[in-house]
């Protein structure tokens, strides 16, 4: 099936997932839509998250996508089940893959989760983790300053380190935590700073790697792989906000230099 795979996010953070998807599935076509105009979703009401997410989905459904990846932890926590029930294509979120990766990693069974306010309040990671292993101990911390910092595209390493250090003090005090889940797809952009702050004793994980593996498994099981195109396909990237602030991140940090990058307006 040579139809594209759709990827949605509240902003540019989902490009961390898209980057890994392209690495694992180079022949697949991807269309990415980031709602940079209304980002972040983490402090929005649940009603707003539902409305905005469906607007993103409706846009991508116009491209006849064969699968939808919800690369936003907040939208995954709030709307994923509704999307699965109402769409007739496979829908994959990022929370369960991230939880599985953390369980593989931990030796102490003490796992920390950082995310937006909505993701942390939903306790979606706690539920996903303890459904697999009820003995796990978790500590969850909301980091509302991370996404605005990243989306601005204008911050120094010193500024980032100050924000991260202040936000993660509770986790640093817990001597048993050995695994930290980046419960927002924006956060891997700060991963090197986060690793520096928490130290070598804590493994920092994003859900991108595991999400890519899950997408590949679903494509294989459903016989949906793209068998028409033999060459790697550059993804199409659309954003709802200003292009100037995100283009350098898209082209330089994520190396999507050959991609179509356009600003769109949602109905």
Residues with catalytic roles: 72, 184
- Cα–Cα distances (Å) from 242 to 35, 97, 204, 265, in that order, read 10, 31, 31, 11
Q: Which residues contact 104 (CB under 8 A, 6 or more apart)?
A: none
Q: Are strands 236-239 and 260-263 parallel, antiparallel or unpaired?
A: parallel
Strand partners, 92: 69
Cβ(164)–Cβ(189) below 8 Å = no
Sign of CA dihedral 191, 194, 198, 199: positive
Q: Residue 123: left if φ>0, alpha if ψ -120 to 50, beta else—which one?
A: left
Q: Are 8 and 93 in contact (CB under 8 A)?
A: no
Of 94, 73, 69, nearest in space to 83 by CA: 69
């Amino acid at each position: 099936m040579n139809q594209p795979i759709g990827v949605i996010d509240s902003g540019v953070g989902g490009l961390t997932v898209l980057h890994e998807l392209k690495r694992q599935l180079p022949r697949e076509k991807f269309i990415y839509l980031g709602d940079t105009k209304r980002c972040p979703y983490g402090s929005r009401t649940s009603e707003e998250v539902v409305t905005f997410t469906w607007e993103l989905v409706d846009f991508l459904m116009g491209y006849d996508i064969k699968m939808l990846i919800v690369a936003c932890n907040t939208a995954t926590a709030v709307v994923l089940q509704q999307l699965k029930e109402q769409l007739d294509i496979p829908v994959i979120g990022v929370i369960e893959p991230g939880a599985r990766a953390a369980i593989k990693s931990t030796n102490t069974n003490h796992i920390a989760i950082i995310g937006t306010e909505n993701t942390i309040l939903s306790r979606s990671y706690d539920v996903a983790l303890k459904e697999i292993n009820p003995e796990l101990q978790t500590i969850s911390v909301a980091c509302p300053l991370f996404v605005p910092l990243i989306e601005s595209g204008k911050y120094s390493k010193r500024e980032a380190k100050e924000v991260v250090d202040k936000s993660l003090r509770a986790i640093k005090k817990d001597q048993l935590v050995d695994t930290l889940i980046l419960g927002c797809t924006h956060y891997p952009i700060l991963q090197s700073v986060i690793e520096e702050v928490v130290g070598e004793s804590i493994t920092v994980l994003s859900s991108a790697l595991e999400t890519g593996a899950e997408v590949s498994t679903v494509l294989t099981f459903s016989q949906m792989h793209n068998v028409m195109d033999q060459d790697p396909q550059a993804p199409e990237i659309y954003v709802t906000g200003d292009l100037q602030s995100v283009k350098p991140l898209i082209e330089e940090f994520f190396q999507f230099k050959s991609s179509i990058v356009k600003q769109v307006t949602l109905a």
